[in-house]
Amino acid sequence: MTWNIPNILTLLRLLAAPGVAVMFLYFQRPWADWFALVLFVTAALTDWLDGYLARAWKQESKFGAMLDPIADKAMVIIALLVITGFSGMNPWVLLPSTLIMFREVFVSGLREFLGDTAGLLKVTNLAKWKTTAQMTAIAVLFATGLFEHEFLDRTAGMDEIVVAEIMSGASEDPLGLQWFSVAANVTFKVGVALLWAAALLTIVTGWDYLNKAMPFLRDEQNS
């Protein structure tokens, strides 16, 4: 195992994965949303950075090649669990999240079974697009939670009639309630659309990996 900067970044990304969930245990919202969003985006950026540095500095290693997909999967799965939880098990979030997590587990099991021949399941360009869509969707949905709770914090203790008048435009909006409401609505729709796109790419790439692995999954017939 070589301790170089790319490998250290990959290890930090792996450690950041459970940190996203821990933010919601030790901080109140919306601070938890802020910290989780910053942590997730920073970790996602290292996913590109560690690979770039490893290639540029010729520091690619077996340790990094092994740890990188594990860190990616851990980060995505834990973040999706958190988002599914605070979305109230919204089916528009739950279903694509389930498909994504199922695929990650399935492909990981497939690679483990194939052992030395797992190299045939190389990451395709379509799989990279899938990862990009996942990461972007998760970041946007974390922002949704942030905007929702900023709105709730600003309306805490306010009369419902006053809030309704502000939202309808009948009264002034010094707290920016309309902006937070629109931001929450837009980011949710964009995040869900990206999550469904990632889920569809997940199905396509998962099926592609299965087809590539099929010759190695067939039992030999006795003549």
pLDDT band of 116, cuts 50, 70, 90: low
> What are the chain's domains?
5-214 (1.20.120)
pLDDT tens-place string over residues 55-78: 777 777 777 677 777 888 888 899
Largest CA distance in the chain: 84
Q: What's the pLDDT score for residue 88?
A: 85
What single DSSP character describes residue 217?
T
Average pLDDT for residues 78-86, to the nearest whole number?
A: 90
What pLDDT score was predicted for residue 96? Answer: 94
Structure tokens at 196: 């469904």
Is the confidence at residue 218, as pLDDT, over 50?
Answer: yes
Exposed / middle / buried, residue 25 (Cβ in 10 Å: 0-12, 13-18, 19+): exposed
Nearest to residue 187, comparing CAs of 79, 93, 88, 72? 93
Residues 99 and 199 sit within 8 Å (Cβ to Cβ): yes
Identify which has the larger pLDDT, 219 or 194: 194
Q: Reduce the DSSP state of residue 87 to 3 states and report it.
A: coil
Confidence band of 43 (pLDDT split at 50, 70, 90): confident
